Amino acid sequence: MDLGLKGKSVVVTGGGSNIGRGIVLAFAAEGANITIGDIDEGQAGKVAELALKQGAAGVQVLKTDVSQLDQVKALMDAAHTRYGSLDAVVNNVGWDQLMFFTQSTPEFWDKVIRINYVGVLNCTFAALEKMIPAKGGSIVSISSDASRQGEPREAVYGGTKAAINSFMKTVAKENGRYGIRCNCVCPGVTIPEFDDEVGGTSMWAKPLFTPEQLEKVAASLPLKKVGRPRDIANAVVFLSSPLTAGHVTGQVLSVSGGYSMIG
């Protein structure tokens, strides 16, 4: 099925590892022009090479810290300059370390907030600067089912993701007049299939769960399996497509094997 993304200019932040990698490759299969912003330039470069082999019209990589607005603006500028437009942005960068809130520190809170929430603010602000004059575009932010029902050991992370859900709904209402659609995808536990799918800076560089823990997670879900990057990527591409989701905005979609079922 042609999703209308061939030749479109797409920015994916954190596109070097796990979910971000899957999203890049899904857009590549649609023939998009892709700009990857990632703090791990080497890992992102490997994904760029693979994306070209899988059908991307073009791929470029910029080393980007999403917590820094000047770097994010440079990322959006690069996509717009090279490919002539900015049609879709995926705010994918995320980071956490599992611990109870009472074990955490203010320094940890600040890092989680800056990467997960301020990063989305920066990227959305810079994207809208390009999309509003063009009268169109799609922004998808990767949230988490931890935002929809509290998850132990993810208090601050879940809080930032809940903030993203509310923020994206507001941005959708403010900018629908320009033809800009803004949505969220909420993964549950989503793990890479192979070690080479993550770089050294990824939160998945060291296993977060034992095999026994993952078995218990899978057993607790209605679909009896944990998520893979391609599961999230399929939802992102669907929401980014003007053909499949041209009348969808301000929505929060759980892609978690049924972990969260919120009407």
Q: Which residues are catalytic?
A: 157
Which token pair is 128? 């809208």
Which token pair is 238? 């669907």
Q: Among candidates 171, 174, 163, which has minimal Cα distance to 115?
A: 163
- DSSP 8-state assignment for residue 150: -
How far apart are alpha carbons 144 and 148 in whole angstroms? 8
How far apart are alpha carbons 39 and 36 in whole angstroms? 10
Which token pair is 27? 């857009």
Sheet containing 137-142: which strands, arranged edge to edge? 58-63, 33-38, 9-13, 88-91, 137-142, 180-187, 252-255
Question: One-letter amino acid identity for 200?
Answer: G
Listed in sequence order, the DSSP H helices in the chain are 18-29, 41-53, 69-83, 106-113, 119-134, 155-175, 211-220, 229-240
What are the residues whose beta carbons fall under 8 Å from the beta carbon of 211, sequence distance 6 or more? none
How far apart are alpha carbons 16 and 18 in whole angstroms? 7
Q: Among candidates 2, 25, 24, 29, which has minimal Cα distance to 14?
A: 24
Determine contact, residues 34/8, Cβ cutoff 8 Å.
no
